[in-house]
C-alpha cells in the first residue's frame, strides 16, 4: 500500500518516481530503521519521516545512479532513526515490552533491558544525590538542559557532560555490584 504522503504529491512525474522508489525499497528502509530502533511502532512513524525528507529531495534523487540512490536512502533512514533514538530521552529508563513476533532478538533485547533496570534499581540508593538528580531530571522528568542548569546553578554547556558522567557512575556502580555478587558465588 502506497502511503498518502506519496499520493498527495501534485506533480505526476514526481508521484510516479516516488511510488516506484517506495515500492522498490520500502522493505530496505523498514529494515534499516528497525535495526536501530528495535520498535515496530517507532519504525512505522520514522518511515513517514524518511519519506518526507526524500520527497523534499526528489531532484537530487533523480540524478543518482542505482547504487548511489540505495546508499542515499539507507543513510537517510539510519540518520532519521539515530536522531529519533538520541532525542528519545526516556529510553535510558523506560521498560520496553517485547514485540508480538517470533524474533529471538526482540526477546533477548527485552530480557537484557529488564535485567539492566533491575540492576539499576539495586544500586540507586548507593548513588550520590547529584547523580540521582541528573538521571531522574533528564530521563524521568524530561527536563531540558537549560532547566537542569538552572536547578544546579551550572553553565548550560556543562549539563550534557554532567549527565554523561552520571550515567557512567550508575553503570560503574552496577558493574561493581555485579562483580561482588560474582565473587561470593
Determine the Cα–Cα distance for residues 107 and 3; give it in Å rounded to an integer: 30
Q: Which CATH number characterizes residue 150's domain?
A: 1.10.10
Contacts with 21 (C-beta within 8 Å, 6 or more apart), sequence order? 54, 61, 69, 73
Tell whether the model's pLDDT for residue 59 goes beyond 90.
yes
Q: Do 10 and 66 share a structural domain?
A: yes
- For position 127, what pLDDT does the model report? 92
Q: Do 174 and 102 share a structural domain?
A: yes
pLDDT tens-place string over residues 19-50? 999 999 999 999 999 888 888 888 989 999 99
Q: Do 177 and 98 share a structural domain?
A: yes
Are 113 and 97 within 8 A, CB to CB?
no
Domain range enclosing 73? 4-87
Q: How many Cβ atoms sit within 10 Å of the Cβ of residue 51?
A: 23
Q: Do 32 and 17 share a structural domain?
A: yes
Question: Between 128 and 89, whose confidence is greater?
Answer: 128
Q: Do 135 and 167 share a structural domain?
A: yes
DSSP 32-88: HHHHHH--HHHHHHHHHHHHHHHHTTHHHHHHS-HHHHHHHHHHHHHHHHHHHHHH-
Q: Do 152 and 179 share a structural domain?
A: yes
Tally of domains in the chain: 2
Q: Do 179 and 126 share a structural domain?
A: yes
pLDDT tens-place string over residues 121-169? 888 889 999 999 998 888 777 788 899 999 999 998 999 999 999 999 9
Last residue of a domain, one of 87, 103, 125: 87
DSSP 90: G
Determine the Cα–Cα distance for residues 29 and 69; give it in Å rounded to an integer: 12
pTM of structure = 0.50
Amino acid at each position: 500500500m502506497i502511503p498518502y504522503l506519496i499520493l498527495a504529491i501534485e506533480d505526476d512525474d514526481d508521484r510516479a518516481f516516488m511510488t516506484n522508489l517506495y515500492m522498490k525499497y520500502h522493505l530496505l528502509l523498514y529494515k534499516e530503521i528497525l535495526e536501530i530502533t528495535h520498535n515496530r511502532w517507532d519504525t512505522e512513524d520514522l518511515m513517514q519521516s524518511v519519506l518526507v525528507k526524500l520527497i523534499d529531495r526528489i531532484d537530487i534523487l533523480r540524478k543518482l545512479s542505482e547504487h548511489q540512490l540505495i546508499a542515499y536512502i539507507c543513510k537517510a533512514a539510519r540518520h532519521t532513526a539515530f536522531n529519533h533514538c538520541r532525542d528519545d530521552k526516556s529510553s535510558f529508563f523506560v521498560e520496553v515490552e517485547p514485540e508480538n513476533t517470533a524474533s529471538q532478538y526482540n526477546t533477548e533485547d527485552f530480557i537484557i533491558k529488564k535485567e539492566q533496570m533491575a540492576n539499576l534499581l539495586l544500586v540507586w540508593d548507593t548513588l550520590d544525590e547529584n547523580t540521582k538528580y541528573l538521571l531522574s531530571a533528564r530521563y524521568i522528568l524530561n527536563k531540558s538542559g537549560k532547566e537542569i542548569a538552572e536547578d544546579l546553578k551550572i553553565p548550560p554547556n556543562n549539563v550534557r557532560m554532567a549527565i554523561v558522567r552520571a550515567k557512567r557512575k550508575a553503570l560503574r556502580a552496577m558493574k561493581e555490584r555485579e562483580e561482588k555478587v560474582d565473587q561470593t558465588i
